[in-house]
Structure 1
Amino acid sequence: MNWNLLYKRAYIPYSERPAACVVESKNGHFYAGVRIENVSYPITIPAVQSACAICLSEGEIPAGLYIENREFDQLDFWVKEFNLKVHEVESPPIENTEDLFHPADNNFNTLPKLKSLLTKAVTPNSDFPVSAMLFTNDGYFEGVNIEVSDWTKGLCAERVVIAKAITAGITEFEKLEIHTKKGEISSPCGACRQVIAEFLPYHEIKLHHAEGTLSEHLSIDLLPFNFKSASLKKQG
């Protein structure tokens, strides 16, 4: 794999400024991340945040960071947060980014998997674990919410799982399922609803609530009159 392949997977329709990196965990596993923009620009996910959150969602701790010689949003924070050793390299130390993809199973019961995923959530501040599964035609990705020392740098489960899929080069989705361990209802936050509107604009969203019930929605109903990318003049 080369950097250009990862750069092509970055979702950058507004800035056309691709960014990608690879995080190495303390166990020696590698996790890639790419820049994922949003029409609501403060919700854009920088490549370093994406890679670190993906690593943490797999129960691992970031230890090293591999990048090309270019500027990165949030770089100083994540390097300091995990005392990352930064390596500038000509090519990423990773063969593929599909390892976190799970093949489809026609007899798959999602609720037990969503419940088991809750144990992977990193929630030292809120103690409010959330899990998510994002489905494609051929299988699914898993995600949990991630919190770090700076509350604003955390990512919800919905955005973690979308980041995994986009980094893997997959952008065609079928549905999203979400589960919470606590609370009255399982429901995406406002920021996640805006991101969902960008990548799953008219898709099925299944919410598995903590007390055992299920509600099904279309994503457009979660954020009516949402701000759309067609409202902006894109580059090029």
Structure 2
Amino acid sequence: MSWTSLLDRSYVPYSGEPKACLVEGSSGKIYAGVRIENISYPLTIPAVQAACAICLSEKDTPAKIYVQNRELEQLAFWTVEFHMKVVETDEPPVVDREDLQMNPSSTFSAIDELKSLLNQAVTTNSDFPVSALLFTENGYFEGVNVEVSDWTQGICAERVAIAKAYAHGDTEFTKMEIHTRKGEFSSPCGACRQVIVELLPYHDVVLHHADGTLSEHITVDLLPFSFKSSALNKKK
């Protein structure tokens, strides 16, 4: 994999400035992260946050980060948080593609997978685990919520799954399923709804609630009057 091929997986329709990095976990596994912009700019997922959160969601610990240059958002926070070594290189290491699960078999149970996945959530602050499955035409990506010492740097399960999909270049989404074991109603937060509406605008989302019930929705209906503006697209 080259930096060019990884940068091409960024979603940057507003800035036109792709960003990417690779994080090596203490296990030795490599995790990719790319910049995923949102029309609501503060909800943009920086490449460093994406890669580190994906690593943590796999019960691994960020140990080293590979960058083409150090001009990356949140690099300072995450390197300090996990004492990561920063390696500038023109030849990035190979990424393991195991994060992409194959198409579900006839015996696949989304709720069983979601319940099991909750054990991978990093919820040191909230003790409120959330799991998500993002389905594509090729399979599905898993996500759990990840919390760190600075609450503002944490990221939700839905966005971790989205970050995995973009980092692996698989963005032909079909649906998303979400689960929490606590609370009255399993539902994406407002920030996730804005991201989901932009990237999966007319897709099914299945919410598996803590009481065993479920509800099905169209993503665009989760956020009526969501923020949209063609004037923000800088690409000519």
The TM-score range, normalised by the shorter chain, is over 0.9
Amino acid at match of 1:217: H
Identical positions, percent = 63
Per-residue displacement from partner, 1:24-68 (whole Å, max 9, x unpaired)?
A: 011111001001100000000110000000000001000000001
Task: Give the 5 Å matches for 1:17-166.
Answer: 17-94=17-94, 96=95, 98-107=97-106, 108-166=108-166
Amino acid at match of 1:27: S
Does structure 2 retain, via aligned residues, the 8 Å contact 1:97–1:167? no
Per-residue displacement from partner, 1:101-121 (whole Å, max 9, x unpaired)?
A: 011124121111000000000
Query: Which segments of structure 1 move beyond 3 Å, counting only runs of 4 or more?
Result: none
Q: TM-score under structure 1 normalisation?
A: 0.97
Equivalence for 1:169:
169
C-alpha distance in 2 between matches for 1:117 and 1:231:
40
How far apart are residue 161 of structure 1 and its match? 0.2
Alignment gaps of 5+ in structure 2? none
Q: TM-score under structure 2 normalisation?
A: 0.97
Amino acid at match of 1:180: T
Residues 143 and 69 of structure 1: CA distance in aligned 2, closer, same or farther (over 3 Å):
same
C-alpha distance in 1 between matches for 2:64 and 2:195:
28
How far apart are residue 233 of structure 1 and its match? 3.2
Does structure 2 retain, via aligned residues, the 8 Å contact 1:102–1:139? yes
C-alpha distance in 1 between matches for 2:120 and 2:168:
21
Does structure 2 retain, via aligned residues, the 8 Å contact 1:130–1:179? yes
Does structure 2 retain, via aligned residues, the 8 Å contact 1:101–1:139? yes
How far apart are residue 231 of structure 1 and its match? 4.7
How far apart are residue 99 of structure 1 and its match? 2.0
Per-residue displacement from partner, 1:157-210 (whole Å, max 9, x unpaired)?
A: 000000000110011100000000100010000000000011100110000001
C-alpha distance in 2 between matches for 1:229 and 1:25:
39
C-alpha distance in 1 between matches for 2:61 and 2:233:
39
3-state secondary structure, aligned to 1:51:
helix
User: Does residue 226 in structure 1 map to residue 226 in structure 2?
Assistant: yes
C-alpha distance in 1 between matches for 2:104 and 2:74:
38
How far apart are residue 228 of structure 1 and its match? 2.0
Q: Cα RMSD (Å) of the superposition?
A: 1.0
Per-residue displacement from partner, 1:74-116 (whole Å, max 9, x unpaired)?
A: 110001000000000111111x453200111241211110000
3-state secondary structure, aligned to 2:158:
helix
Does structure 1 retain, via aligned residues, the 8 Å contact 2:143–2:160? yes
Does structure 2 retain, via aligned residues, the 8 Å contact 1:97–1:168? no
Equivalence for 1:207:
207
Does structure 2 retain, via aligned residues, the 8 Å contact 1:37–1:44? yes
C-alpha distance in 1 between matches for 2:198 and 2:181:
26
User: Does residue 5 in structure 1 map to residue 2 in structure 2?
Assistant: no
Residues 24 and 177 of structure 1: CA distance in aligned 2, closer, same or farther (over 3 Å):
same
